[in-house]
Amino acid sequence: MRSIFVTATGTDVGKTHTSLRLIEALATAGYTPGVFKPIETGVSGTPQDASLLLERCQHHNDNFLSLSPTDVTAYTFSLPAAPLCADKKKIVSIDTIVDTYRRLSSLCDILVVEGAGGLMVPVTETTMMIDLITLFESKALLVTPSRLGCINETLLSIEALKTRNVDFDWCVNLYEEKEHFATVTQPYYDAHFPDWWSVEEGLQRFVDAL
């Protein structure tokens, strides 16, 4: 396995939070991690997510010390929208994204790739975010929220990953409506997914089992 693709059920679910913790967990397990943010939108100046990922990675991988945030992204756009919509000049090339992935992969043991939005976010007219997972031959880590309605979002995302035959695991980022999760959501997960885990409590076990 060359990479772990951190995706989510949608925006503002906790991909960056999870990716940062994943970098630490990989380092603790003895890996030398790398980072890649294929596309970041809503960028004004320096890409924020890429900057956070790179800074954390540089604590554990000297090969990334000379890189800048724009080195660990293939494309950035100012409009906070799906890449297809933010890319007004239609400059995104999947080949460029794959080439950047390969270059960064050569600098680490495992590359932590953080997606944008959810699985079915359009990257180009013919490519969705979920397609990048397949192109990279990554293991996917699906991050799901803890707010009301997350069961539906989680099941739909799991169904999409299974339909595409993507190797994946999933976890809950317990922060939104956390105080209600145990009563409105957890009973279903306990009954149907008894091995479910949270970012806060299960991430190191996920890494150790790789």
Beta bridge partners of 170: 142
Q: Is 162 a catalytic residue?
A: no
Starting from the edge strand earliest in sequence, which strands make up the sheet with 73-76, in order? 73-76, 33-40, 110-118, 3-8, 139-144, 168-172
Structure tokens at 67: 């890189």
The CA-CA-CA angle for residues 196, 198, 201, to 5°, reads 115
Cβ density class 36-47: b for 16+ within 10 Å, e for less = bbbbbbbbeeeb
Contacts of 117 (CB under 8 A, 6+ apart): 8, 10, 11, 82, 129
Catalytic residue from among 37, 89, 139, 162: 37
Residues labelled as active-site residues: 37
